[in-house]
Every structure is written in structure tokens, then in C-alpha cells.
Amino acid sequence: MSIKTENLIFTLQTKHSTYQMKVSEHGHLLHLYYGPSVEDEDLSYLIPHVIRSHESNPDEAGEDRVYSLCAYPQEFSSNDAGDYRIPSIELVNGDGSYSFVGKYKSHTRYKGKYALNTLPTLFADGDEDAETLEIVLEDPVTHVSVKLLYGVFAEKDIITRAAILCNGSDHPIRLQRFLSASLDFMTSDFDLIEFFGHHYYERRTDRRPLSRGIDEIGSFRGASGHFHNPFAILCDKKTDEETGNAYGFCLMYSGNFVFGAEVDGYAQTRVAMGIHPKQFEFRLNRGECFEAPEVVLCHSSEGLSTLSHRFHRIFRENACRSEFVKASRPVLINSWEPFRFTFNTETLLKTAEESKKLGADLFVLDDGWFGQRNDEKAGLGDWVANEEKIPGGIRALSERIHALGMKFGLWFEPEMVNENSDLYRTHPDWCLQVPGRAPSRSRHQLCLDLSRPEVCDHLIQAVNKVLDEGGIDYVKWDYNRYVCDVYSVGHPADRQGEIYHRYILGLYRILNGIVKTHPHILFEGCSGGGGRFDGAMLTYFPQIWCSDNTDAPSRLVIQHGTSFAYPISSMGAHVSVCPNKKTKRTVPFKTRALTAMHGTFGYELDPAKMTEAEKAECATYTELYRKHQNLIFSGDYYRLSSPHDDSLFTAWAFVSQDKNTALVCAVLQEISIMDENCYVKVCGLEEKGMYRIAETDQILSGAALKNVGILLPHTTPQYSSFLFQLEKV
């Protein structure tokens, strides 16, 4: 049994963890524990019963000065009621007050996994895969209620949280903050690991100790963003890849978000996550409700690798229903490198035909195929083929690509528009733009107002027409600027605080209307690279372009950080030209290929500029990737060394679930003048098992591979790479 509810003590059990709450004698829902598994015990003794001087005590506590909401750990914190830590909620009641104190009202437990009406969530594979607990808290004065939702995937060691607020009062309320999850720990000796960056360098890792006060990360760009990812880890100071406690928090939301960790004066820690409250205000009339996005929680007492394995499994198996999640993925080549905006049907066909020599089986026509799109200043929003470039339209081109024995894909950026476009000239009010102010542009683009149903309906119809008529096998869904000038003429002045969130709701509506109605098309998400790489997007896209930076040493850093939460099968990774167009760095082809095998694999190359020998080398690595794709996608992934450390090399491994097969890769980052010995220590194997290394014909035990490692060859150039294929004998 995964959920127990005796005596208003709520215990959520997974295979290796326990999460416990309790309704106090005064009706507050207290958070007692989250950590390694504890069976059938009341853990309320963990709360110290001491007087905290100068802290407020609720009236119902009478003379009991021990009972204080500012000192007690809460499951959903109140507002304006004596708790001065990060609040779960801020609202303005009908009488102008800001108070909310949620008291326990009821609970419900049922088999299966809850779902939200407006937001994507993880799903259960049948009622036996998960169980749900709903706890309702209600303010006894205003009758505003909050339903806390808990989904328990017991076998997968995952707990999800979401929340729904309903206005049961007689007056409208203004919701100004409503976070999805809050947890209080009675200690504070944690490190915070977050994933920061910018365009071209996403999801680098930063690990730092929590300090007194609030550590906060987030995005206020209208997207989850390049700069901070909606995923964070709290862990013990000594936690490493293989040992120690770690807690992961992943928000299933693609817009503005906030994650905060506050250490109070008593060395207690509150963690809270949800929609960013800046420029957020949602008005709710009587009977109306608001859904907060889901947070995916995971605990590991066996270090960061196990934490990642559990996130990888849940995202592979319970996020996206696409048929491509478990299917073999095509190896693609993209038209952007060879042509940019300048091409015609014959040049595209010649490139597609030459791409077959690289082993590619999917040709993708990128930007420039529609409207008057001859540069980035015009045509965006006009999703009709430019027949001057492509006579007969997309269908005619698609048929000729298919006749070559290749699949065919298209690039779209549905959420954006150029002012020099038929769409903008017809509907200039369909953009986000503050009245009386000149708009801010990025890449000569404006953002369409997805908070308006008519805009969403137009995009669904326009894109679906191309997909339905064009014979499309793959779509790259791009998003190349952030949202600003956030004002919608489709909503009244007192509703403008809702636009950021309504934009995201509109985006999900569009994705439901396009992606989920075309199950046989492989959709890949993109946002100027990895600017919207989040759990919610993975419910629609089985893969997301990891970064516009394709330089292999840079990608080692980017893909390393991405791997802490997101599975390898979700990372779009390609081999590109050298010197790299962004970094100007030259890296051996093998290193570029092995780095791209650390993902979905494809090419950003111009076959016309390649020799036959280079094409043959591509074909060799394409074949190698196809041989190991199942292991790469479904095996356990191990970060064997970090590109952030002082190690001379970066290494990683894929180990099959049965531990019979492994693929070990290493890239030499630095050349040591001391000519040091470099040993790659391989985790995840059976220590008593014996493994043959194909490249050296050595047979070593799993214990030797873990504790001693594989010796890398000496005197090799910087950025050399090594591949070791291991089989159990």
C-alpha cells in the first residue's frame, strides 16, 4: 500500500522513501518528514515543542505559546497569519484583507493518478501504477479552499504534487501568488544544485551551500528559459554521484517559475516551487477555481545517479504518450547549415540524396519555406509554402523526398510573427503589445497573443493544414524570443495580470490541438535551442533540441547538466561542422560523433562540402549509433566524471537494465605536461560479473572496472575521444 491515512496522519510510501503529514490539534496540516523509507511510525515527535520568543500564536492555541505557525513545519503555508517565511499563497479577499489560513476539511484517496484540466501532468499506466491522495484545506472565515493533490508512483519512487484553489466566498478574490508545492525540513545543512546558463550555454551546474535567508532562482521571461531551469536539487553536503541524500524538484510548467529555499532563524529550511508571482494576478469569482502546475518530487539516499535514474524513468514512461518515446528515432540532417534562407527544390533534393550517404534517413527543411521568408525580417506567421522556391508546394517536395527513401520534416515557429507578414497586416491586434508604446522586438519578431482563443484556433488550423496535406514525418517546433510587452487587447485592464499564465495555457491548447492530433509525426521541441527544456514540454515532445551550441566540448557541459533530470532520449544532439561556427573550435570528428550519441543523434552539415571519406565516416558512426540506440535511450546513465571538475577528461556510460552490456565514452579535455595516467572508473556493473572490453579484448570484473577503471591511451591530442563496448561473459 502506498498511502496510509490513519488518525489524520498521511503517509505516502514509495519503494525507498516515505513522505508524511499530520493534521494538528488545531486543524493545520503539518509536514513531518520526507526521506529514506520509514515504516508505520508517527514522526510528529520530530517537531520541537519549545517557545519561540516573539513569534505569533494563533488564537485557537489559547495560552499555548509553543504552537506557532512561524516555527512549525507546514504542508501549505498560510498568509498574514504569523508565518513570515515564503508563503504558498497570497491573495486579496473581497473585503480587501490578505489573510488565508487553510484548515483541514476532508481527504480522499483513490487508485490511479489525478490529472489537471488546464495543465499537463504525468500519467499513470493503469490504476495499479499510481495512487492519489487529495486533501482539502479551507479558510474558515472566507471559505476559500485549496485542494492539495498527491500522486504516488510507489515502484518508481516518485511523488507528484499539485494544487487547486477554489473561491467559495461571496465575493471575487484576486490571487497574487499560488505555489504548487512547499516542504519544510527541520534542518538546513544542505547544498543547492541548480542549472543556469544562457542562449548557447544552457543548464550548467552550480552547487552551493544554503545560507540564512532565501536562495531563489526562476524565470520571468514568459518561458522556463535558458537562464535557469525549473529543476533543482537539495542534497547533503557530502552527497556525490553514488552516495548521500538528494531531493529533486521538477516543475511541470513552461512559463514563469520560481524556486525558493529559505533557511530561517531556527536553521529550518522551507522549499517552495511554482508559478512566479511577479506580474501575476488572477481574478476568481465565486465558484471559480485555479490550477497550479505539478511538481515532480524524488528522493534518493544513494546519491545523484540514482536520483537521475528515477527522473529519467518517470519521464520516459509517464510523461509523453507519443509512439516515438519507445520507438527507434530517425537520424536527421537539417537544411539550415547548407542553405539558410536560400534554396530551391532541386538543391534540397540533391542535399537529401547526398545525406543518405551519411546514414541519415530524415531530411528536415528548416526556416525559409513559407510566405515571403527570404530573411528573418519577413513572412513569419504565414504558414503557406513559398512556391517560388518550392513549385507545387510542400506536398510535391515531400513526395519527391519520400521517393528517395527518406522521411521529410518541416520547421515551424507558430507562436511568433513578423510585422512584414500577411498575418500581421490582417490582425495587428493579435500581438502582445502595450497600448501607446512601441513594441520591443527580438530577431525582428513579435509574440502572438496566445491568451486569446481566436489566435490559438487560427494557429491550430494553419499548422494542421500543412501537416495534413504535406506528408510530414517530423516537425521542429521553435520559439526564438522571450515574451515582453505583456498586454492583451483581448482582455480588460483588470485582467492583465493573467496574461503570462493565459499565454502558457494557450500554448498547451495549441499543442493539444496539433501534436496530439498527429500521433504519427515525430515532434521535436526547440526554443532557440534549450530555452524551454522542461517537464511539461516533455509531455508533448519526446525530444527537445538541447542547445543551438553544437560545439562538442560545450555540449559535454550542457548535456551533463541536462542529464540530472531529463533522459538521454529527450536530448536533441547533432554533429556539426568544424571549426565550429560559434566557438571557432576544431574537434576531431569522432569526438563530435560520440558527443552527439549522447542524445538523439543527427547532422548539421553540408554534404556538398564533404569528401567521400568524410561521408563514409559519418555512415560508420550512424551505424554505431543505431546499433546502440536502445541501450542509450533505455539504459541507466552514469556521469563518470564532470566537465566542471579539474579532471583531465569527461566520461559517461550507458548500462543496460540487466547489467549485461555497457557503452563507455570519454573525451580528453586537457593535455597534461606530466603525462598523467587517466583511469575511467565505470559504475553500474555487477561487481562479481566479468566483462569483455571489445576495443582492448581485456576481460575485467565489474569490481575492477568500478574501483580501478579503464586506462586511457597516453599522449593523445586534446579533445581526443574513446569508446569502450563492454559485454558480460
pLDDT digits (tens, 9 = 90+) for 363-378: 999 999 999 999 999 9
Radius of gyration of the chain (CA): 27
Which residues neighbour 627 within 8 Å (Cβ) at sequence distance 6 or greater? none
**Mean confidence (pLDDT) of the chain:** 95
DSSP H helices, 340-384, are 345-355
pLDDT of 2 > 70? The answer is: no
> What's this model's pTM, rounded to 2 decimal places?
0.97
Mean pLDDT confidence for 266-281: 97
Tens of pLDDT, residue by residue over 384-423, are 999 999 999 999 999 999 999 999 999 999 999 999 999 9
Look up residue 224 and give its three cell numbers.
Answer: 522556463
Residue 505 sits at the vertex; the CA angle it makes with 221 and 126, to the nearest 5 degrees, is 120
**d(C-alpha 427, C-alpha 387), whole Å:** 24
Residue 489 pLDDT exceeds 60? yes
Asked whether the beta carbons of 109 and 98 are under 8 A apart, the reply is no
Weakest mean pLDDT among 180-189, 242-251, 531-540, 675-684: 675-684
Average pLDDT over residues 518-545: 97
Give residue for cell 513549385. 391
Q: Which residue in 410, 407, 522 sits closest to 462, CA to CA?
A: 410
Does the pLDDT at position 150 exceed 90? yes
**Cα–Cα distance between 284 and 46 in angstroms, integer?**
38
Q: Which residues pair with 250 in a beta bridge?
A: 231, 296
Alpha-carbon distance of 726 to 623, in angstroms, equals 18
Q: Mean pLDDT lowest for which of 313-327, 339-353, 600-614, 671-685? A: 671-685
Query: Which domains, and CATH codes, for the chain?
Result: 3-318 (2.70.98.60), 332-418+452-482+520-634 (3.20.20.70), 649-728 (2.60.40.1180)
b/e sequence 344-375, b meaning 16+ C-beta within 10 Å: ebeebbebbebbbebbbbbbbbbbbbbbbbee
Identify the helix (H) or strand (E) that includes residue 393: helix 393-403
How far is the CA of 648 from the CAs of 424, 652, 666, in angstroms?
53, 14, 10
For residue 673, the model assigns a pLDDT of 57
Whether 577 has a pLDDT exceeding 60, the answer reads yes
Under the banding of pLDDT at 50, 70 and 90, the label for residue 674 is low
SS3 labels along 236-291: ECCCCCCCECEEEEEECCCCCEEEEEEECCCCCEEEEEEECCCCCCEEECCCCEEE
- Rounded to the nearest angstrom, the gap between the alpha carbon of residue 301 and the centroid of all alpha carbons in its chain is 23
345-355 helix and 393-403 helix, angle to the nearest 10 degrees = 30
Helix ranges, 122-268 (H): none
Confidence bin at 1 (pLDDT 50/70/90): very low
- Span 61-68, mean pLDDT? 85
DSSP H or E segment with residue 557: helix 552-562
Residue 137 has pLDDT above 50, yes or no: yes
How far is the C-alpha of 362 from the C-alpha of 407, rounded, in Å? Answer: 4
**Residue positions annotated with a catalytic role:** 534, 614
Query: Please, are residues 161 and 146 in contact by the beta-carbon 8 Å criterion?
Result: no
Please tell me whether residue 656 adopts helix, strand or coil conformation: coil
Distance, in Å, from the CA atom of 403 to the CA atom of 363, rounded to the nearest integer, reads 12
pLDDT digits (tens, 9 = 90+) for 74-112: 999 999 888 999 999 999 999 999 999 999 999 999 999
Going by C-alpha positions, the residue among 42, 41, 36, 44 that lies closest to residue 17 is 36
Cα three-residue angle 216-220-223, rounded to 5 degrees: 115
pLDDT at 677 over 90: no
Q: Region 193-210: what's the mean pLDDT?
A: 96
CA distance 112 to 149: 12
For 619, the grid coordinates are 555512415
- What is the full DSSP assignment across 32-54? EEEEE---S---GGGS-----TT
- CA 565 to CA 533: how far, in whole Å? 11
Nearest to 633 by CA among 289, 203, 259, 320: 320
Average pLDDT over residues 519-536: 96
